Amino acid sequence: MTAEQDIFAALRAALAGARQGYIDNPGLCLDPEREVRTGTPEIVLAEGKSMEQLEESVRAMLSLAGRVIVSRLEETQRCHLQAAFPDAVWRHNPGGRTAVIAPPEYRAPSTGGRVGILTAGASDFPAADEARLVAEEMGCAVRLYQDLGVAGLHRLVVPLRELLEWEADVLIVAAGMDGVLPSVISGLVPLPVIGLPTPVGYGVGGHGEAALLSMLQTCAPGLVVVNIDNGVGAGIAAARIANVAARARRDAQAAVRTDSRED
C-alpha cells in the first residue's frame, strides 16, 4: 500500500497532533484531500451558509483541490459567487441547484465507470440531475432517461434495454408518489439499483415519505435506498460502485495482455 492509498495516514497524523489534510478556519473545517483518500470529492453545501462562509469555502477548495462542487445553491448565492470568481468556469444545473466551479484549464476525470439514471416522472428530474452531475465529476459516463413510471410501464422497455446493452455498472432510479419504480427495476436487472425517493406527490406522504417507505419495504432483494431528495448521496454511491467495476475491467484487461505476451 502506497502513502496515497494509506487510508489511515490522516488519522495517525491527527492523533499525533498534526493539523494537516484539512482547512481549519473559524466556522469551517474543509477536507480537500477527501477525494484522494476516498475517491469522493468534498462537496460544499450552500444551504444555511452565509455569503462570506460560502465564498471562503469555494475559494479554499479552488486553491487546494482544483475545483469545487457546490450543492443546494440558491440563485442569490450563485450570483454572488459568479461576481466573486469572474474567471472561473461554471457547470450549473439550475434544477438540481448544483454547480461545479473550476479554473478554465480544469478537465473532469474519466474512470470508465458507467451509471444509468432513470426517473419515474419528469418532476423527479432535479434530484436525478444532481446525481448525474456528481457521478460525472467522479469520472463516470452517465445516461439519464426521464418519465418512465409505472402508470405506463411499457415506456421503460427501450431505455432499460439500452442501458443493459451499454453495460451500465449501476442504476439510480428516482421516484416520488408511490415510489414503486426502483423495486420494479431491481426485480428485472442483474445490476445494483439505488432508489432515490423524491419529494413529489400530495396528501399523505406527499413530501417523499411514502416513496421512501415503499422503497424500504421493497420485495426486490438488494435494492438500496438513500434519503429523500439526496441526489448527491445517490450519485456518490453509484459512482463508487461504477468506479470499482471499471477498475476491475482494467485489471482484467491488463492480465489478459500479460498472459498474451507470456504465450
Question: What residue ranges do the domains of the chain occupy?
Answer: 12-102, 114-246
Q: What is the pLDDT of residues 101-131, one digit of tens each?
A: 999 988 888 999 999 999 999 999 999 999 9
| CB contact at 8 A, 173 and 195 | yes
Domain over 114-246 is classified CATH 3.40.50.1970: yes
**Worst-scoring range by mean pLDDT, 88-92, 145-149, 182-186, 203-207?**
203-207
| CB contact at 8 A, 121 and 175 | yes
**Which residue stretches of the chain are H helix?**
9-15, 34-38, 51-65, 75-84, 125-137, 157-166, 181-186, 209-216, 231-262
| DSSP helix/strand/coil, 199 | coil
| DSSP helix/strand/coil, 131 | helix
pTM of the model: 0.86
Q: 244 is written with which cell numbers? A: 470499482
Q: What is the pLDDT of residues 209-263, one digit of tens each?
A: 999 999 999 999 999 999 999 999 999 999 999 999 999 998 888 877 776 666 6
| CB contact at 8 A, 179 and 149 | no
- Angle, vertex CA 44, rays to CA 52 and CA 120, nearest 5: 130
Q: What percent of the chain has pLDDT over 70?
A: 85
